[in-house]
A and B are shown apart, each in its own frame.
Chain A
Amino acid sequence: MPRDSAASAPGRPGAGPGRASGRGAGNPRRGRFFTAALLSGGVQGSPVVRLFIRWVRRPLLPVMRLWRRNIQLRVVATTLLMSLGVVLLLGFVVIGQVRNGLLEAKVKASQSQATGGFAVARQSADETAAATHGSTGGNGTDGQQSQNVIQWMSDLVESLSSGGSGAFDVVTLPVGDDSGGGRSPRGSGYVSPAESVPASLRDRVNSSSSTAAAQSYTRIVYSNRKDSQPALVIGKQVNDPNGHPYELYYLFPLTQEEKSLSLVKGTLATAGLFVVVLLGAIAWLVVRQVVTPVRMAAGIAERLSAGRLQERMKVTGEDDIARLGEAFNKMAQNLQLKIQQLEDLSRMQRRFVSDVSHELRTPLTTVRMAADVIHEAREDFDPMTARSAELLADQLDRFESLLADLLEISRFDAGAAALEAEPIDLREVVRRVVGGAEPLAERKGSRIRVVGDLQPVVAEADARRVERVLRNLVVNAVEHGDGKDVVVKLASAGGAVAVAVRDYGVGLKPGEATRVFSRFWRADPARARTTGGTGLGLSIALEDARLHGGWLQAWGEPGGGSQFRLTLPRTADEPLRGSPIPLEPKDSRRNRGLDDGGTPRGGAEKLATVPVQQTGGNASALPPRQGAATPVADPTALPGNGNGNRVVPRPANRGRRPDDRTGAQVPDPRAGGGPEPAGQDSTEAGEAFRGR
């Protein structure tokens, strides 16, 4: 089960076209990765890897599910991510600018300070040198001159550094590894000179042979356990009174700048946090305002589609969402109104048919009695009149049966038909029907064979209705059998029993297999109504089958005959899952693989069609009563003027659609075959196939 959901879960994001914009370009690849890693990894990886992947995936599944289903979450998360990115970018830019600005100001001030300091140092050295020369009068050996340098150097550092306590520190270092004579490292304010001045700066100061000052950034190390801090260091080589060079450095701690920068940082971080939260909240609010009505509309639409037509959206305000709601409600209202009107109309029509049938009965009885009298006395009439009397009696019979059929079908339409099911042996029923049809068969010169009656075929059914259905089928087969044999086949398997009636007459043209069950449908509308049945027989038979929760299906091929199959559940109210007899018989031309008609279609196959046209392929699983409700809404089913043309178009429309045909094959997979190429079935046209 998890494997299944894993297979579908990553697959679906790719299938949803609307999501690509929201999730960015990286997603399909990640989807593929998931599919590859999680799916195929499960197949080819070791069990440990599979377990690990499952373990990792399990907590993610609800999150991904939520992500897929919740547009609000997606929008808010995307907004948060994007605003976070913008805030971070902005923060970096602003902090960088502030840092540069602070540094620039600091560097300028520091440079001027340091330059002044260097000048003071040089001046002090010159003055001291001049004084020494003056006092000693040129008597100075090297040792003599250097007597003051140790103290002079300390004094110099002190005087330079006293200018800005805390603002900067002064450090002197010997050039290279020179030592003695005042060139020991000196530092003010606990600065450790050697560690604080970077070696690269010392190299620069020494290499450029005095004139230019150089600067660098460094970290001041203190000798009194104070934390080290970043600093700007500016250095220059200066001469002492003896003319020996030493390095003089000014160190400007960047503590204040660091504090300013961290203040800016803190401010930006706080502001950014608030902005992100604000944007997230705004997105949440906006999406909520949009999504909530959409969700409500979706719920209402679901309920509407479930048949609860009185459901309406709550509409507040006058905005776009409110307009959507209003339009939606108006649509639902119109829909309800129309459906109501149609229901009323169809109810009225059914009632009208029923009333008309009833009303016609009384005069018909009278007419019938009178006609019987005339009929009995026909021998006394002249031949013309006698012929008329016979004609009258015949047509009256037909009229009566038509009336009876109309009454019967209107009972079905009204849902008044009741099933009186009891266990019966279908062999008995078949025997009775075959017995009843023998005279007709003899007249037509055909023989009725019963196959599969060696064992009892028992089902819970209404014997009268089943007998009516079968009689209809057998009589139809005999009438259209062209004098060839009619085979009645019984079978029982699973939870179903079936009776198939096979003839070898003209058969059915493509598309007719569904249309034969239409009311008043005739294969050849031009044929007069004077012969044959009422045109309602198969419709009634279909309603009977449906009442049992069974199927009545037809198959036929032009010139290859046809087969009608009745499938009933063994016990009432048990849904059918299949039929013991294939709809397409084994001896069909396609199954035999030959074309004995010499027609151009080589592997001519006849599609199996489903007579349950109103409910579609899956409708067989539904209770019959629901199916019975549907034709009520069909105004074209009215048999009012007896014109079969009115019935034809609808099935014809449906039959033209190829997907409808393939769908029709679903209930019986064994009857399946490839879809037949259209337009090849016109050779056997002209042969009528109609109800009795």
Chain B
Amino acid sequence: MVADREGGARRTPGRAVTYAVCGAVLLGGCASMPDSGDLRNVESTPRQDTGVRVFAVPPAEGASPSEIMQGFLEALTSDDPHYDTARKYLTAQAARAWQPERSATVLADGPGIMAETPPAGREPNTGRMYALAGDRVATVDDQQAYAPAHGDYRARVHLIQDPKSGQWRIDALPDGVVMGKSDFQRNYTSVDKYYFANHTRAGTTGDPVAVADPVFMRSKVDPMTQLVSSLLRGPTTWLGPVVRSSFPTGTALKDGTTGLTPDDENSLTVPLNAKAAHVGPARCTEMATQLLFTLRNLAPTLESVDLRGPGGDQLCDLTESRADSVAWHASAQSPDYLYYLDGKHRLTRLPASGTGTGGTPVPGAFGEGTKQLGAVAVSRDERTAAGVSADGRSLYVTPLAASVPLEPPVLTSQGPGADTRLSRPGWDARGDLWVADLNPARPQLYVVPQGTGKPVAVTLPELPGPIRDVRVAADGARVALVVAVKGDKQSLLIGRIEGGDSVSAESDAQSGNGDTPAEPPAVVDPRPAAPDMEQVTALSWAGDSRLVVVGREQGGVHQMRYVQVDGSALEGPAPAALSRVKAIAAAEDDRVPLVAYSEDGIVRLPSGAQWQKVDKDGTAPVYPG
């Protein structure tokens, strides 16, 4: 081979060498993996779902009553869209009357079946009575709102033998479905519907503020269509009073619409009925925004929605990039800086997305360290900061601008101890400052319009105990309260904030006149968000309907975890464990690292990494809000 080539080279050296070099280059190019070039986009492929599916089977011929019961309960865990197979276990009459969508009851270990002796007066042969029993964990109502529950569950099911065919069938049963907790987690998924807050508008732009309304959908039964219908039906009862929907009342999907899926360009076409045919373009854009925010929970790659009228004509369309300019959306806001108090009690800031550890003091009074501060909060536009003095007695508000002197405190507390005075303040999207006076004698929640107005006392509902901490959601419509129950125990409650006349007054009083609102806002209907938590030591909003909480479960240890505002358990991993967390800060945008104040000082948790130390001597880390 070599000799041949050399011989050839001797004859026509130039050409042979050229050929050899070309061949070698070609071979070399083909025979090794490429290490550069071929730049292109990666098509998003849907994640493979490995979830278990139960395939319901109709009752077997001549099945015994207990087999009928088991088969029926198993059919309830299947993906059957309208429980058609489950209905085959019922008598015709019961099948017509049974309404499985009315509710879903979640039992800890699934329903147990116990035979009961039929009540006296019935013929023994005409029927059998069974009781379904179990430990209730939660219920999902007909609006698909989740509510934690506890206690025993007991329901009666009656079977009769069909006189003609001789088959056993269920003829009396409670509405709704019942299933075990893991089946529920397999079959249902939590999705946030988005509505607009009634009274809150984003302070800087005046855009409506989106409020998340978590519901549970059957994840394997055309979830997108279900979700759109649910969104159109309106908010859940609990949230309803404080939010509005842009969809005109009665708007629904066009009759017979099923199987909504995004097309190849990640655009979803939603056909609506005649009620929505005459909305104006601005209203329509708001409607599309609601849809887009909501559907991106299910399909994160969705890029646009296209609303169609009953005749198929386009009402409006909206792309994802435009949606953020239509409405203010907490999880779309990315804070610029992380703020904390350094060892010299100066308010220091650090770029939120960076990896650096050297903070710089903010301009303004707080950055000079003249005032000893215990807790701080920075407004969402990052122009104003509020600070509570180290003794918790006074609340100061100052702009983050150089050479502005510190003004007198906006609010003072008369509490007896440092931890029974003012709580950590918080800003909402509108720019109002919320702070609680933890004085056990007169606990009170105040709102300071625009941080500078006259504090307004917020009406509080009957609470099981004194407030220990308070965090207002970015939308200004919900508030998370930590309430001491008895002794050492605390529980986390979520209440909605009603009484929004202050908004209009505030909007009118933009000039800073500070009119007193006609009706003070009120926290209404607090409900438990983490019923299994015994102790809550720190918390922060970490999403539209999610909080990150440091606490202790019953019989458990201190740990950090996420909780859903409706009290349901969240799928997905908890943050990496960290001991002795005293304060925690998270942003609604989940790309921003979690920051905690622990015995190691201020540490942060970038996604996909371990905790990193930021400042050993720092305290009170906060993101804007």
Are B66 and A143 in touch, CB under 8 angstroms? yes
Pick from A143, A144, A146, A150 the residue with the most CB of B within 10 Å: A150
Judge whether B78 is part of the interface by a CB distance below 8 angstroms.
Answer: yes
Q: A144-B112, A148-B110 are in contact. Are A184 and B74 (CB under 8 A)?
A: yes
Q: Which of these, B53, B60, B180, B181, contacts A150 with CB under 8 Å? A: B180
B residues in contact with A148, CB < 8 Å: 109-110
**Interface-forming stretch among B44-52, B327-335, B427-435?**
B44-52
Name which residue of chain A comes closest to B59, CB basis.
A179
A193 CB, min distance to chain B CBs, angstroms: 6
Are B182 and A151 in touch, CB under 8 angstroms? yes
Are A143 and B114 in touch, CB under 8 angstroms? yes
Are A180 and B55 in touch, CB under 8 angstroms? no
A157 to B53, CA, bound (A): 9
Judge whether A390 is part of the interface by a CB distance below 8 angstroms.
Answer: no
A199 to B52, CA, bound (A): 22
Interface string of B56-71 (1 = CB under 8 A from A): 1111100100111111
Are A187 and B71 in touch, CB under 8 angstroms? no
Name which residue of chain B comes closest to A159, CB basis.
B52
Q: Which of these, A158, A165, A179, A187, contacts B67 with CB under 8 Å? A: A179
Judge whether B111 is part of the interface by a CB distance below 8 angstroms.
Answer: yes
- B94-118 residues with Cβ-Cβ distance < 8 A to A are 109-115
B571 CB, min distance to chain A CBs, angstroms: 13
Judge whether B167 is part of the interface by a CB distance below 8 angstroms.
Answer: no
Are A188 and B183 in touch, CB under 8 angstroms? no
Are B70 and A150 in touch, CB under 8 angstroms? yes
A residues in contact with B52, CB < 8 Å: 154, 157-158, 161, 170, 186-188
By size class, the interface of chain A is: 35 or more
B residues in contact with A162, CB < 8 Å: 50
Name which residue of chain B comes closest to A173, CB basis.
B55
Name which residue of chain B comes closest to A149, CB basis.
B70
Are A180 and B48 in touch, CB under 8 angstroms? no
Q: Which of these, A166, A170, A185, A192, contacts B57 with CB under 8 Å? A: A185
Q: A165-B50, A189-B50, A190-B49 are in contact. Are A150 and B183 (CB under 8 A)?
A: yes
A59 to B126, CA, bound (A): 89
Name which residue of chain A comes closest to B107, CB basis.
A151
Judge whether B73 is part of the interface by a CB distance below 8 angstroms.
Answer: yes
Are B77 and A181 in touch, CB under 8 angstroms? no
Are B183 and A190 in touch, CB under 8 angstroms? no
A166 to B60, CA, bound (A): 33
Q: A144-B114, A147-B109, A150-B110 are in contact. Are A184 and B51 (CB under 8 A)?
A: no
Pick from B50, B60, B68, B69 the residue with the most CB of A within 10 Å: B50
- A122-176 residues with Cβ-Cβ distance < 8 A to B are 141-144, 146-151, 154-155, 157-158, 161-162, 165-166, 169-170, 174
A347 CB, min distance to chain B CBs, angstroms: 53
Name which residue of chain A comes closest to B111, CB basis.
A147
Judge whether B21 is part of the interface by a CB distance below 8 angstroms.
Answer: no
- How many residues belonging to B are interface residues under a CB distance threshold of 8 Å? 41
Are B60 and A194 in touch, CB under 8 angstroms? no
A141 to B73, CA, bound (A): 18
Are B48 and A154 in touch, CB under 8 angstroms? no
Are B48 and A189 in touch, CB under 8 angstroms? yes
Pick from A169, A170, A181, A193 the residue with the most CB of B within 10 Å: A181
Q: A144-B112, A148-B109, A158-B186 are in contact. Are A177 and B60 (CB under 8 A)?
A: yes
Judge whether A223 is part of the interface by a CB distance below 8 angstroms.
Answer: yes
A residues in contact with B54, CB < 8 Å: 154, 184-186
Judge whether B592 is part of the interface by a CB distance below 8 angstroms.
Answer: no
A238 to B415, CA, bound (A): 67
A278 CB, min distance to chain B CBs, angstroms: 16
Interface string of A444-481 (1 = CB under 8 A from B): 00000000000000000000000000000000000000
Are B74 and A181 in touch, CB under 8 angstroms? yes
- A48-105 residues with Cβ-Cβ distance < 8 A to B are none
Q: Which of these, B50, B58, B71, B110, contacts A161 with CB under 8 Å? A: B50
Judge whether A182 is part of the interface by a CB distance below 8 angstroms.
Answer: yes
Are B53 and A187 in touch, CB under 8 angstroms? yes
Are B112 and A147 in touch, CB under 8 angstroms? yes
Judge whether A422 is part of the interface by a CB distance below 8 angstroms.
Answer: no
B residues in contact with A161, CB < 8 Å: 50, 52
Are A143 and B57 in touch, CB under 8 angstroms? no
A residues in contact with B529, CB < 8 Å: none
Are B77 and A150 in touch, CB under 8 angstroms? yes
Are B113 and A188 in touch, CB under 8 angstroms? no
Are B53 and A178 in touch, CB under 8 angstroms? no
A223 to B78, CA, bound (A): 14
B residues in contact with A187, CB < 8 Å: 52-53, 55
A318 to B186, CA, bound (A): 86
Q: Which of these, A143, A149, A150, A193, contacts B55 with CB under 8 Å? A: A193
Judge whether B75 is part of the interface by a CB distance below 8 angstroms.
Answer: yes
Are A158 and B74 in touch, CB under 8 angstroms? no
B569 CB, min distance to chain A CBs, angstroms: 16
A143 to B157, CA, bound (A): 14
Are A147 and B55 in touch, CB under 8 angstroms? no
A223 to B53, CA, bound (A): 10
A551 to B70, CA, bound (A): 123
A residues in contact with B183, CB < 8 Å: 150-151, 154
Known interface pairs A184-B75, A188-B52; 20 further A-B residue pairs with C-beta atoms within 8 A, sorted by A's residue number? A143-B112, A143-B115, A146-B113, A150-B74, A154-B186, A157-B52, A158-B51, A158-B52, A158-B186, A161-B52, A170-B52, A180-B63, A180-B68, A180-B71, A182-B74, A185-B54, A185-B55, A186-B54, A187-B53, A190-B49
Residues of B with Cβ closer than 8 Å to A? 48-60, 63, 66-75, 77-78, 109-115, 130, 134, 179-183, 186
Give the 9 A-B residue pairs with the shortest CB-CB distance, closest first: A180-B71, A147-B112, A180-B70, A151-B180, A181-B70, A151-B110, A185-B55, A180-B67, A165-B50
Q: Can you identify 25 A-B contacts, CB atoms within 8 angstroms?
A: A144-B112, A147-B109, A147-B111, A148-B110, A149-B70, A151-B109, A151-B180, A151-B181, A154-B52, A157-B52, A158-B50, A158-B52, A158-B182, A165-B48, A165-B50, A179-B57, A179-B58, A180-B60, A180-B71, A181-B71, A184-B55, A187-B52, A187-B55, A188-B53, A192-B55
